[in-house]
């Protein structure tokens, strides 16, 4: 099968331009709101909490907050774009275009990854101006950032296809995305939890995204980074297959 690279690139550019046009809302606002977490939690717990020896609580917190922002915005980009197209009735033009389900998916996913990296990078840059941020492996940081944006972007594609109105998407965010991100070790190490909650956290795929990403900064983590990498790749593959199947079937896309 030959990919329609030009068509895929065109849709990708359209999706990127869609969120860049309102960058104050899509990039600056999430960065500022996330940094409020850093200021509040960093000030309150800086001296009282030591998660990893040799690292301050703020240095522990920054990677988690960056990943939380990155994940939520990657999800929001693909999910809102598909739902908006469905609500406006112009999703039919994408389906009629000479683009396969794989090409549609790659365009939506690519734009979600870009938005995730841009918003996450904005948080990291601003945070580094406020507190010292260590860097153990830039390669691992970038790898987990791309993988995490991809995972959440793929989940956003599924949510956008499934949702029939904004209430559905809001419910998906509030009851699935927010619990997965807030209960994934953003603000704490799962080693400090009781055995029951540690086992429960082990079933949360977002935990592995954050833990591997944090390892790239600090060089320490709750689980081996190769385990986190494996879980991230498997989860991305599973979501990719489901997304492509949904796009190919036209589920809730063709009126």
pLDDT digit string, tens, across residues 65-74: 999 999 999 9
63 in a domain, yes or no? Answer: yes
46 in a domain, yes or no? Answer: yes
The total number of structural domains in the chain stands at 1
254 in a domain, yes or no? Answer: no
Single pTM value for the model: 0.94
With a cut of 70, say whether residue 255 has pLDDT above it.
Answer: no
> Of the ranges 34-48, 113-127, 138-152, 239-253, which one carries the lowest mean pLDDT score?
34-48
255 in a domain, yes or no? Answer: no
User: Quick one: pLDDT band at residue 234, thresholds 50, 70, 90?
Assistant: very high
**Residue pair 158/241 in contact by the 8 Å Cβ criterion:** no
Could you give the percent of the chain with pLDDT greater than 70? 98
Domain region containing 61 = 5-249
158 in a domain, yes or no? Answer: yes
Tell me how crowded residue 27 is: count the other CB atoms within 10 A of its CB. 20
Alpha helices in the chain (DSSP H): 5-20, 23, 29-45, 57-88, 91-96, 101-130, 138-162, 166-172, 178-182, 195-201, 205-218, 225-249
**Residue pair 15/111 in contact by the 8 Å Cβ criterion:** yes
* Predicted pLDDT at 137: 94
Smallest Cα–Cα separation from 84: which of 173, 163, 25? 163
């Amino acid at each position: 099968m030959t990919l329609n690279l030009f068509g895929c690139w065109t849709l990708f550019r359209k999706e990127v331009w869609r969120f860049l046009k309102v960058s104050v809302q899509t990039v600056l606002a999430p960065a500022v709101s996330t940094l409020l977490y850093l200021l509040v939690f960093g000030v309150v717990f800086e001296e009282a909490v030591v998660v990893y020896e040799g690292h301050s609580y703020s240095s522990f917190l920054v990677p988690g907050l960056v990943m939380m922002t990155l994940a939520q915005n990657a999800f929001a980009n693909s999910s809102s774009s598909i739902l908006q197209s469905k609500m406006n009735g112009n999703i039919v033009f994408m389906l009629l275009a000479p683009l396969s389900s794989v090409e549609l998916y790659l365009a939506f996913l690519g734009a979600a990854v870009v938005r995730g990296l841009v918003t996450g990078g904005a948080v990291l840059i601003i945070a580094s101006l406020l507190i010292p941020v260590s860097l153990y492996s830039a390669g691992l940081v970038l790898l987990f950032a791309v993988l995490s944006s991809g995972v959440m972007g793929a989940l956003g594609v599924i949510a956008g296809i499934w949702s029939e109105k904004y209430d559905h998407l809001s419910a998906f965010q509030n009851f699935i995305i927010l619990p997965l991100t807030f209960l994934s070790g953003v603000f704490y190490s799962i080693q400090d939890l009781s055995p029951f909650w540690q086992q429960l956290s082990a079933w949360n795929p977002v935990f592995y995204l954050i833990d591997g990403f944090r390892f790239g900064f600090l060089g320490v983590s709750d689980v081996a980074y190769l385990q986190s990498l494996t879980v991230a790749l498997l989860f991305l593959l599973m979501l990719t297959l489901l997304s492509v199947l949904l796009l190919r079937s036209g589920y809730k896309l063709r009126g």
